[in-house]
Amino acid sequence: MPQSNEAKSDQELLNDRLEQANRQLLQSEKLAAIGQLAAGVAHEINNPVGYVYSNLQSLENYLTDLFRLTDAVDSAESLDNLKAIKQNIDYDFVRSDLKDLLAESREGIERVKTIISAMKDFSHIEEDEFKPADLQRGIETTLNVVNNELKYKADIVKEFGDLPEIECIISQVNQVVMNLLVNAAHAIDDFGTISIRTRQETDSVVIEVEDTGSGISRENINRIFEPFYTTKPIGKGTGLGLSLSFNIIEKHGGQIEVESTPGIGTCFRITLPVRQPPPNGTE
Amino acid sequence: MIKIQLVDDEANILSALRRLLKPQGWEVHTYNNVEAALGGLLEHNYAVIVSDYQMPTADGVTYLQFAKQRQPDAMRLVLSAHGDRNSMIKAINQAEVYRFLSKPWDDYEVVTAIKSAIDVYQLKVENQRLRNQVDTQKAMLRAREQELLRLESENPGITRVQRDADGSVLISDND
Residues B77-93: pLDDT tens digits? 999 987 778 888 999 99
| Whether A137 and A268 share a structural domain | yes
Closest CA to A166 of A120, A222, A207: A207
Other C-beta atoms closer than 10 Å to the C-beta of A154 total 23
- Looking at this protein, which amino acid is placed at residue A262? P
Q: Which residues of A touch B13 (CB under 8 A)?
A: 47, 50-51
Structural domain ending residue among the three candidates A123, A144, A161: A123
| Whether A26 and A96 share a structural domain | yes
Distance from CA of A209 to the nearest CA of B (A): 22
| Whether A104 and A144 share a structural domain | no
| Whether A164 and A99 share a structural domain | no
Cβ(A270)–Cβ(A248) below 8 Å: no
| Whether A103 and A187 share a structural domain | no
Closest CA to B76 of B86, B90, A223: B90
Give chain B's radius of gyration (CA, Å): 27
Residue A138 lies inside a defined structural domain of this protein: yes
Q: Which of B19, B56, B103 sits opposite A97 (nearest CB)?
A: B19
| Whether A46 and A73 share a structural domain | yes
Residue A205 lies inside a defined structural domain of this protein: yes
B101: nearest CA partner in chain A? A50
Structural domain ending residue among the three candidates A84, A103, A123: A123
Count: domains in chain A: 2
| Whether A116 and A57 share a structural domain | yes
**Angstrom distance (rounded) from CA A144 to CA A188:** 19
Q: Mean pLDDT, 10 residues at a time, over chain A (283 residues)? A: 63 87 77 71 87 95 92 84 86 92 94 82 70 90 86 90 90 89 89 93 92 88 80 69 86 90 92 83 46
Q: Do B13 and A100 touch (CB under 8 A)?
A: no
Residues 93-122, chain A: which have Cβ within 8 Å of B?
Answer: 97, 100-101, 104, 107-108
| Whether A157 and A258 share a structural domain | yes
| Whether A186 and A206 share a structural domain | yes
Counting as low any pLDDT under 50, the low residues of chain B are none
Q: Do A61 and B23 touch (CB under 8 A)?
A: yes
Residue A280 lies inside a defined structural domain of this protein: no
Q: Which of A46, A58, A108 sits opposite B81 (nearest CB)?
A: A46
Q: Do A43 and B54 touch (CB under 8 A)?
A: yes
**Angstrom distance (rounded) from CA B63 to CA B78:** 11
Residue A219 lies inside a defined structural domain of this protein: yes
Q: Which residues on chain B place their C-beta less than 8 Å from a C-beta of chain A?
A: 10, 12-13, 15-17, 19-20, 23, 54-57, 81-82, 84, 102-105, 107
Q: Do A46 and B10 touch (CB under 8 A)?
A: no
Structural domain ending residue among the three candidates A123, A139, A160: A123
Domain of A252: which CATH number? 3.30.565.10
Residue A279 lies inside a defined structural domain of this protein: no
Q: Which of B6, B9, B10, B12 to mutate to test the interface with A (most CBs of A within 10 A)?
A: B12
Residue A238 lies inside a defined structural domain of this protein: yes
| Whether A8 and A50 share a structural domain | yes
Residue A254 lies inside a defined structural domain of this protein: yes
> What CA–CA distances, in Å, run from A236 to A186, A239, B101?
9, 9, 26
Give chain A's radius of gyration (CA, Å): 27
In sequence order, what DSSP letters do the residues of chain A get, joined into one string?
-HHHHHHHHHHHHHHHHHHHHHHHHHHHHHHHHHHHHHHHHHHHHHHHHHHHHHHHHHHHHHHHHHHHHHHHHHH-SSHHHHHHHHHHTTHHHHHHHHHHHHHHHHHHHHHHHHHHHHHHHHT--S--S-EEE-HHHHHHHHHHHHHHHHTTTEEEEEEE-----EEE-HHHHHHHHHHHHHHHHHH-SS-EEEEEEEEEETTEEEEEEEE-S----HHHHTTTTSTT---SPTTT--S-HHHHHHHHHHHTT-EEEEEEETTTEEEEEEEEESSPPPSS---
Distance from CA of A49 to the nearest CA of B (A): 6
**Angstrom distance (rounded) from CA B157 to CA A72:** 83
> What CA–CA distances, in Å, run from A217 to A222, A232, A240?
9, 14, 19
Which domain covers residue A2, as residue numbers? 1-123
A53: nearest CA partner in chain B? B104
Residue A143 lies inside a defined structural domain of this protein: yes
| Whether A82 and A168 share a structural domain | no
What is the per-residue pLDDT for A282? 46
| Whether A94 and A191 share a structural domain | no
